[in-house]
Structure 1
Amino acid sequence: MDRALWTLGLVAFIALMAGLLLLGWRHRAGRQVDIPALPEVPATLGADLVEPLAGVYVATTRSGSWQDRVVVHTLGRRAAAEVRAVPEGVLIDRVGETPVFIPAASITMIGTAPGIAGKVIGQPDGILVISWRLGSRLLDSGIRAEDRDLQQDWIAAARGLVSDAGDFDTPIDTPTTDAPATAPEGTEDQGGSSTRTDGATA
């Protein structure tokens, strides 16, 4: 009898925790109604600029706030993915989930960070981070690559897609983060700001 009560209590506790998580997820989505829908994937894409990068799409956050996960438009769903850099932009092709297409004109930084919401590697290049503009919001999308050497080649090739920050006139409030993205090729991060590969800060 005691074992049955303990089992029922455990099941009830798990159900309560799951319900609270779902409620929190819905409240977070309600606070993110200002984030517009994702761009559509073009019907045709050009040739890959570099070999596609296999790995896991981890999360997307508001830029500069590495734990502020974005959950709207399926961006909060982790999935295995292939990341392609093409002339039109970056395609994060997620297995079993909606693909995330980032137009080249929207990309503001491509670099690495030790972690992003839901995944902390503890190594400076543990997570590939793509910072990009969606409407008036700046977001960071993180991918855990399987091949770290290929990740460096991918970043080097994809840097040509990064847009000039001056092309954007809408200001963005960028919260301070304790896990900033690190841009390749020796650019430095200043405090909590994300350093773009063109030398500007967001």
Structure 2
Amino acid sequence: MTLIELAAEQKSAEVTDWAARLGWVAGLLLFVALVYWLMRQGWKWRGSLQSGLPDLPTAPGAPGAPRLTMSGRYHGSTTAGQWLDRIVAHGLGTRSRAELTLTDAGLDVVRPGARDFFVPAGQLRGARLDKGIAGKVLAEGGLLVVTWEHGGTLIDSGFRSDTAADHTAWVEALTSMNHTSTTEGTAR
């Protein structure tokens, strides 16, 4: 047998079984779609569980002169004291850019691409620096957490300024504002 005859007899092994490969790819895509759908259903379920939360207030027409302003990110809201119990009702679970304005009337949170909300001064309960809120963990003191009351529920909302040095001034202003409203409430 000559070399040419041997070469003609040999047949290349089949490299790819396309039917099996396409089956695996289709199965993987279906699995990813199922996981995504389950996550979305969980988000909707959480929102329906929190449906008792009333609509968020909007800013008054003339809120007054700004005491402080901040540009940064809104990282979400949780039940106060439970940093992993995310609140998703009324768009509070949607992360976004945020512009905060603190006036004597309260805290105005403007979120491009998400629902804005306003926290009246009488509902502000305090502020602190923390390291995390549901879905976001930063260095110690890297997150401004504002505690407020809405519909009988205490809520923690997490913000991060573009300039982290701003956080301390916000904590001081919100704490003094809460102290003033609490003192005025007991004096009546």
Query: Which bracket does the TM-score occupy, shorter chain normalised?
Result: 0.7 to 0.9
Match of 2:159 among 143, 160, 166: 143
**Offset, 1:144:** 1.8
Could you say what the CA RMSD is over the residues aligned between the two structures, in angstroms?
Answer: 1.9
Give yes or no for the alignment of 1:32 onto 2:50.
Answer: yes
Give yes or no for the alignment of 1:11 onto 2:6.
Answer: no
**Offset, 1:165:** 8.9
Aligned residue in 1 for 2:119: 102
- Asked if 2 retains the 8 angstrom alpha-carbon contact of 1:49 and 1:158, the reply is no
Larger Rg: 2
- Asked if 2 retains the 8 angstrom alpha-carbon contact of 1:57 and 1:143, the reply is yes
Cα distance in 1, alignment partners of residues 184 and 62 from structure 2: 29
Matches within 5 A, 1:190-201: none
What per-residue deviation string (whole Å, max 9, x for no partner) do you get for residues 61-90 of structure 1? 111111110011111111011111111111
Cα distance in 1, alignment partners of residues 104 and 133 from structure 2: 26
Match of 1:55 among 49, 72, 95: 72
- Asked if 1 retains the 8 angstrom alpha-carbon contact of 2:53 and 2:150, the reply is yes
Report the TM-score, using the length of structure 2 for normalisation: 0.81
Gaps of 5+ in 2: 1-17
**Offset, 1:10:** 2.3
**Offset, 1:109:** 1.0
Cα distance in 1, alignment partners of residues 100 and 141 from structure 2: 16
Report the TM-score, using the length of structure 1 for normalisation: 0.76
Match of 2:144 among 128, 133, 141: 128
Match of 2:131 among 100, 104, 114: 114
Give yes or no for the alignment of 1:42 onto 2:29.
Answer: no
Cα distance in 1, alignment partners of residues 123 and 95 from structure 2: 22
* Structure 1 residues 166 and 67, CA gap change in structure 2 (3 angstroms): farther
- Asked if 2 retains the 8 angstrom alpha-carbon contact of 1:131 and 1:140, the reply is yes
Cα distance in 1, alignment partners of residues 78 and 115 from structure 2: 17
Greater helix share, 1 or 2? 2
Cα distance in 2, alignment partners of residues 145 and 32 from structure 1: 28
Matches within 5 A, 1:61-100: 61-100=78-117
Aligned residue in 1 for 2:9: none
- Asked if 2 retains the 8 angstrom alpha-carbon contact of 1:36 and 1:134, the reply is yes
**Offset, 1:159:** 2.8
Cα distance in 1, alignment partners of residues 105 and 85 from structure 2: 28
- Asked if 1 retains the 8 angstrom alpha-carbon contact of 2:126 and 2:174, the reply is no
